[in-house]
Amino acid sequence: MTQTQTQLSTLYGPVADDMILVEDLLETTKQVDLAPLKRMLDFALQARGKRLRPALVLLAGCFGEYNLNKLVPLGAAIELLHTASLVHDDVVDGAESRRGRPTSNAVFDNALTVLLGDYMFANAAEMVTRTGSLRVTRLFALALMKMTSGELDQDAAAFDVGKDIHNYLGRISGKTAALFANATEGGAILGGSDEATVEALRHYGFAAGMAFQIVDDVLDYTGDEEQLGKPAGSDLREGTITLPALLFIERYPRDNPIRKFLAATTKAQREARLQEALTAIRTSDVLEDSMAMARDYVRRANAAIAHLPENEAHRCLRGIGEYILARQS
């Protein structure tokens, strides 16, 4: 067992061994007769992340009847939905690498990659119907709608310094937090938990998702390029103005290096001003203030489940909050 596998086993506690069932179900996605599609699915699903979202499904199910026949399909569906959304995002952004690997659209052409994402979305929808819950299936569809709206809002706001922190929080609530909330709420519903428990776990997932995205946005300025698999400042380079940049613009409205970068007209000018903007953000207090906001969301997540039984799953959910704040990639 690798160090990462050991860490995840500790992080996911009582559901760690059952995560292999999620992996097995995801593997069935690749079992198609069409050879070109199989090659594309093999490539897109080759990189295995930490599977945080399906782990949240299973952990939420621990507060009720732990029925793997229902929980595993939802966990796999949510992970497949997440992966499909990244495939489409890379097409929209024109990204050539993710986590140090070529993106699907860098290996295959854009049109085929869009169709690959469509297939994965459809497969995820089929998986979630295996839960036998119309309520969970509807929540899954709503989460997809919110994710799409969040991405559309982000793309529409590119290079727009007129957006504020309220808009940013609304954007990431759809882009990231909606799927985290879907994982914990859906898991609780499938476990047959009472409505108070379902609501508590939904709030936990939402707040954890908000913290996760804020930390992600901080890492874009502070993270190691080798670990992140992308150059520092990639978001700002693409015109995506996240929380650290928004705080900096708000606090230093005059002679602002971020505004100068966004107004640059030549490639050389843009690169020079980008480095000035990155240096300004890194030497200011906005990164720590952004992390303070992430810590506040983790506090909200823990407060939401404070009244739930003190079982092993509860301990793991609190540990996931700590992991979110401490992660480096």
SS3 42: helix
At residue 90, what is the residue type?
D
pLDDT for the residue numbered 44: 85
Give every CB contact of residue 239 below 8 A, 6+ residues apart in sequence.
158, 159, 160, 262
Torsion sign, CA atoms 9, 44, 175, 54: negative
- CA-to-CA distance for 60 and 320, rounded, in angstroms? 13
User: pLDDT tens for residues 41-98?
Assistant: 888 888 778 999 999 999 999 999 999 999 999 999 999 999 989 888 777 766 666 6
- Domains held by the chain: number: 1
User: Residue 251 sits in a domain of what CATH number?
Assistant: 1.10.600.10
Asked if pLDDT for residue 270 goes beyond 90, the answer is no
The parent domain of residue 25 ranges over 3-326
Reported as type and span, the H/E element at residue 101 is strand 101-102
Residue 84 tokens read as 């499909």
User: pTM, whole model, 2 decimals?
Assistant: 0.93
- CA-to-CA distance for 24 and 39, rounded, in angstroms? 18
Q: Is the CB of residue 248 less than 8 Å from the CB of residue 256?
A: yes
SS3 102: strand
Q: Is the CB of residue 211 less than 8 Å from the CB of residue 325?
A: yes
Question: Which whole number is the average pLDDT over 234-250?
Answer: 92
For the chain, what is the mean pLDDT?
Answer: 90
SS3 97: strand
User: pLDDT tens for residues 107-155?
Assistant: 777 888 888 889 999 999 999 999 999 999 999 999 999 999 988 888 8
